[in-house]
Amino acid sequence: MSGAELRVDGIDVSFDAVHVLRNITLRAAAGEAVALLGASGSGKSTLLRVVAGLVAPDHGTVTVDGIDITDVATHRRDIGMVFQDNQLFPHRSVADNVAFGLKMRGVDKRARRARAEEWLGRVELDGFAERSVTELSGGEAKRVALARTLAAEPSIVLLDEPLTGLDRELHDQLVIELVRLLQLADTTVVLVTHDVDEAHAIADRTLTLADLQDGGAAR
Amino acid sequence: MRSRPQSSSSINRLPSGIVATLVLIPASALAVFYAWPFITLMVEAVDVEAARATFERDRTWSIVWFTTWQAVVSTALTIVLGLAPAWVISRYSFVGRRLLLSLLTAVFVLPTVVMGAAFLALFPDSIDRTAWGVIATHVVFNLAVVVRTVGAVWEHLPHDMEHAAATLGATPLTIFREITLPLLRPAVTAAAAIVFLFTFTSFGVVRVLGAPGTRTIEVEVWRRATQLGQVDQAAVLALLQLAILGVVAILSAQSSRRHSRALALRPSSRPVRPRTPRTKALVMVVASATAIVAAAPLVALVVKSFASPNGWTTAGWTDLGSAEIRPGLGLGLDPIGALVNSARTAAWSTVFATVTGALAALGIAAAGRAGRFLDAGLMLPIATSAVTIGFGMLITFDTDPYDWRASWWIVPIGHALVAVPFVVRSTLGVLRAVDGRLSLAAATLGASPTRAWAEIVVPHLWRPLAVGAALATAISLGEFGATSFLSRSGGETLPVAIAELLGRTGSLLQTKGYALATILAAATVALVMLVDRSGDLSGARSGRPDHTTRDHMTRDHTTPDHMTRNGADHVGR
């Protein structure tokens, strides 16, 4: 796995007649990590949701490795996403959360289990497999969320403010871990954040939404 | 938050004499009018000879069997059919959303006799007296339980939880099966338990719609006790029903303990407008289908009150006051008289329930552990079937000096038993919020505990009491089960009169029955809508800054609201 090339062309999104995204264009080369900076409410998250297929654009296309996936359902896109508030499934154990994507891909139980354990080791949560996700600390829950997305080995990973809301020390520690994990995963990454240092630490290239407007992103 | 008031140190407590008085009055009323009749009935039921006579009859077993299977089927269908509207209402905002929720609530709070009448009006004759007629009525009746109970949890499930599953490769069907349904499961189980209780003890619907082959245990208790004079056998059946419900209650409590999980319910995800054309269409279809199903019986009820074999007529309304079938031939039943009786009964039971409920709420808020005990005790009448209550009172208060059966106040007292918990529920939340903080503030300003109570706590009672009073009136107007035992000839209330009129042949009588049912439906819905003006599923909208009184009030609305039919069910039985 070495990630897929992502192209977003001329995306328009409006909610109730309010334009959130207007003619947005974005390119990310295979294996590249791109960070999108901007104030909250500027539409960055909406762009990620368009890429993930969670929000249908009014205009424009999303292309992965040259294939137009604009009308493809989220679950068929092979695009993973880490949500700001993790969205761990509260009725499943840590291991079952991490293995969920593999289960959806039809990986058999034993292999799933082994891969989940492996990823839990990578995020330094050995021995957490049977824990309930509702009992995790903020940092532990974030690591489980990262492991869950990466374990599915998506061709593109979207990170929506993944480290927002954590205290400074934990934040800085997780930035380092995240860089390591993303290198390990060797995938294309689009990171949305409002933290410039975080963006520079994680991404190969940092952009703002303004850069993407009206074709300005090609640079 | 709730434990705060108790923590206020004992030096700031009300004098114990006042507290004791507050607790003792409702407690004695409960002991005399609920506990004593209940025990008398149970003693009557423990009779080997009667038990043998009852269980030797095949009829008994066929009734137990019918009661059980119709309740199981009704519950299953209600859950399955209720999930779609629950999803649409909790997830999407669309034109008419609040209206649809109000409509379902209105249907839910209708007296069971009215609901029976509405479906009698709607169904063609071929379905009228069948098991499927009864089941269909139960399903529509209880849709609101599923929509409200399950919807309240559903609107708190973050959309992104399902989105996360989708980004991991789960199909929409898989998401529903693996994520949504398991998270809704405790709510679904709770809703199922409530619907099962309602349908297992169905009385009013079955009295109006049933036939000899479609009788519930509840109806059979009434029939054997009042029509056949087999009081001992009726008591055995009442005990049997209680035992079955007890087992079900234990099972459902166990299951809910097993499946309850610390689901950190976030602020509810606001309903969103459907974006894709497909979702839009789906939401439209589900919402309109639900609206049609819920509204059709009500429309049919009104239409039938103007229908005669010879075309449209207003005779059902204009001749409502005439108690004659033909000149010289009396009906033995006076519809206008029933209206007057109902109004009088409702007025008295509202007074009884409001006074007792207010004293009880004040006592519960002030009394700590004894208060919690009283609170639980006052809830018992709602957990008891209405027929059991009426039957118990009938056989207890029949000997001097307690021969109160002919007293004018016995029916209002029976209704008040069921209504008091609703008054307590609507009052207690407000009281507790006030009691904890404001009385202490008053104490620092120099008010004695009694003074603070009189100046600060009591004035907060009026609003929630008005709410409780409205609910009590609605409950009394529709109560049918206990009334069936306690009302005397000439003292028929509306539900009793409706059941009588619809049970007789003669199109004018039927038309009058539908007219009376329309009046009762309108009165009940108006009262409940007055109380329940919030269009929210869970009552309390999280994310609102003031968590204090208002929040408590709305939240405590939800409880009576969920329970209203429990009361209203008594209403019907």
Using pLDDT thresholds of 50, 70 and 90, give the confidence band for residue A111. very high
Q: What amino acid occupies position B423? A: V
Is the separation of the CB atoms in A156 and A64 below 8 Å?
A: yes
Element (H, E) at B18: helix B16-30
Contact yes or no for B170 and A105 at CB 8 A: no
Q: Residue B2's pLDDT is what?
A: 42
Average pLDDT of chain A, as a whole number: 91
* pLDDT tens column, A155-210: 999 999 999 888 899 999 999 999 999 988 889 999 999 899 999 999 999 998 88
- By Cβ distance, the residue of A79, A89, A105 closest to B167 is A79
User: Which residue is closest to A156 within chain B, CA to CA?
Assistant: B167
- Residue A157 neighbours by CB under 8 Å, 6+ apart: A79, A80, A81, A82, A149, A150, A182, A185, A187, A188, A189, A190
Chain A interface, Cβ < 8 Å to B: 16, 49, 52-56, 73-81, 83, 85, 87, 89-91, 100-101, 104-105, 132, 134, 148-149, 152, 154, 158
Once rounded to an integer, what is the mean pLDDT over residues A34-50? Answer: 89
Q: How far apart are CA B419 and CA B570, in angstroms?
A: 10
Distance from CA of B42 to the nearest CA of A (A): 43
ipTM: 0.90
**What are all long-range contacts of B316-321, with beta carbons under 8 Å and residues at least 24 apart?**
B316/B508, B316/B511, B316/B512, B316/B514, B316/B515, B317/B515, B319/B508, B319/B512, B320/B512, B320/B515, B320/B516
Contacts of A87 in chain B (CB under 8 A): 158, 160-161, 163-164
Choose from A74, A78, A81 for mutation: most chain B CBs within 10 A: A74
Contact yes or no for A105 and B166 at CB 8 A: no
- By Cβ distance, the residue of A53, A75, A89 closest to B161 is A89
- By Cβ distance, the residue of A75, A154, A158 closest to B170 is A75
Contact yes or no for B275 and A55 at CB 8 A: yes
pLDDT along chain B (573 residues), means of 10: 45 78 91 92 86 88 94 97 95 91 90 94 83 94 93 90 94 94 92 93 91 89 90 91 90 76 59 84 95 95 89 82 62 81 94 94 84 88 89 88 82 93 88 74 81 82 88 93 85 90 83 93 89 49 29 32 39 33
Q: Is the pLDDT of residue A57 over 80?
A: yes
> Cα–Cα distances in Å, from B98 out to B75, B106, B206, B271?
25, 12, 31, 12
User: Which residue is closest to B265 within chain A, CA to CA?
Assistant: A90
* pLDDT tens column, A61-108: 999 999 999 999 999 999 999 999 899 999 899 999 999 999 999 999
